[in-house]
Amino acid sequence: MSDTTAVQPTLDLLTIPPAGYAAYWLSVKKLMDKRRGPQSLADELQYSTEPYTTLLLESAGSSLDEEFLRRLARHKAKAVLRDYRRKLRLFRVAACAIASGENPRKTLITLSGAFGLPLVDENKTMEQAQALLETMRAGNLDKGVFPDVSHTTRGDELILKLLFFLLWARREGKAGLTPFLSGMSFHYLADALHMCIDGIDEPFIRRRLEAQAREMLIDASHKMQMGLELALAIRSRRSYEEVLSLAKAFLHES
């Protein structure tokens, strides 16, 4: 594993490889050793947008006791993983609906219900999605850059865009989704739509996406635990070599 990766301004815990996340914390350690002070953590916090990593950066520079910090990290991990799990389910529901040709109104009810209390006005969201479809059909939006959807997309926007895909597939056929794939950065959704376009049956798509989501969440949880231990090691002023050894212990290959 390389230890020369620079500190990254943005991180995605669901998709970054474990070695990449370990390299991030090693770069934080090198930065702290170079600057020899907590200001390096404060500087890094300015660029951190991933909630769990932000908490760890704050913890590494705090004076709170370790037991309390571990509690904070455990609760934040649960909250982040819950959001991941819910949004991956929305992608799965949408893909299965496209594959089976389900009525978009029925799918919208399922998508909206995933957040407990209604997150969107269903009638208004349907109207917005239909307007978006007509705008796209008129050629006023580039399929290659819109819409880029991922697990980081805000809930109400995610529902709207997934509903748009359903309406588009219903109007233009599943193959009509192909031009959108080039603009998708989130492989989970891109793979799901690829299967729909290829005509794979809905039960297989559901099983594949469920298995893939389980592994992604297990992997994310592992990275969270690794990040916590590395952040605490940095906080305890362990040497770079010790932090590197700890990182390697979390990796299958090092």
> What is the Rg, in whole angstroms, of the alpha carbon atoms belonging to the chain?
21
pLDDT in tens, 162-192: 999 999 999 999 999 999 998 888 999 999 9
**27 and 111 in one domain?**
no
pLDDT in tens, 206-230: 999 999 999 999 999 999 999 999 9
**203 and 108 in one domain?**
yes
pLDDT in tens, 243-252: 999 999 999 8
In a domain, 8, yes or no: no
Which CB contacts under 8 angstroms, 24+ apart, belong to 20-24?
A: 21/223, 21/226, 21/227, 22/226, 22/230, 22/247, 22/248, 22/250, 22/251, 24/53
Structurally, the chain folds into a number of domains equal to 2
**What pLDDT does residue 253 have?**
72
The Cα–Cα gap between 65 and 70 comes to 9
CB 94 within 8 A of CB 165: yes
Structure tokens at 201: 């049956």
**237 and 131 in one domain?**
no
In a domain, 26, yes or no: yes
**115 and 195 in one domain?**
yes
pLDDT in tens, 48-106: 889 999 999 988 888 889 999 999 999 999 999 999 999 999 999 999 999 999 999 99
**188 and 104 in one domain?**
yes
In a domain, 87, yes or no: no
**102 and 206 in one domain?**
yes
pLDDT in tens, 4-30: 444 444 689 999 999 999 999 999 998
**150 and 176 in one domain?**
yes
Query: Is pLDDT at 137 greater than 60 in this prediction?
Result: yes
| Cis peptide upstream of residue 18 (ω within 30 degrees of 0) | no
Query: How many angstroms separate the most distant Cα atoms in the chain?
Result: 60
Q: Rounded to the nearest 10 degrees, how much is the dihedral formed by the CA atoms of 32, 35, 39, 45? A: -50
**117 and 70 in one domain?**
no
**What pLDDT does residue 224 have?**
97
In a domain, 85, yes or no: no
In a domain, 175, yes or no: yes
The Cα–Cα gap between 68 and 46 comes to 24
What is the span of the domain harbouring residue 176? 93-215
Question: What's the pLDDT band for 32 if we cut at 50, 70, 90?
Answer: confident
**139 and 74 in one domain?**
no
The number of angstroms, rounded, from the C-alpha of 98 to the middle of its chain's C-alpha atoms is 22
The Cα–Cα gap between 22 and 13 comes to 11
From the number of C-beta atoms within 10 Å of its C-beta (0-12, 13-18, 19+), residue 241 rates as exposed
CB 209 within 8 A of CB 92: yes
In a domain, 48, yes or no: yes
**51 and 151 in one domain?**
no
Nearest CA to 161 out of 103, 120, 195 is that of: 120
In a domain, 88, yes or no: no
Question: What's the pLDDT band for 139 if we cut at 50, 70, 90?
Answer: confident
In a domain, 9, yes or no: no
Query: Is pLDDT at 118 greater than 60 in this prediction?
Result: yes
For 202-238, the three-class secondary structure string (H helix, E strand, C coil) is: HHHHHHHHHHHHHHHHHHHHHHHHHHHHHHHHHHCCC
**What pLDDT does residue 9 have?**
46
Q: Which residue has the higher pLDDT, 169 or 3?
A: 169
**185 and 97 in one domain?**
yes
Q: Which residue has the higher pLDDT, 144 or 149?
A: 149
**227 and 177 in one domain?**
no
Residue whose pair of structure tokens reads 């230890």 in the numeric block? 3
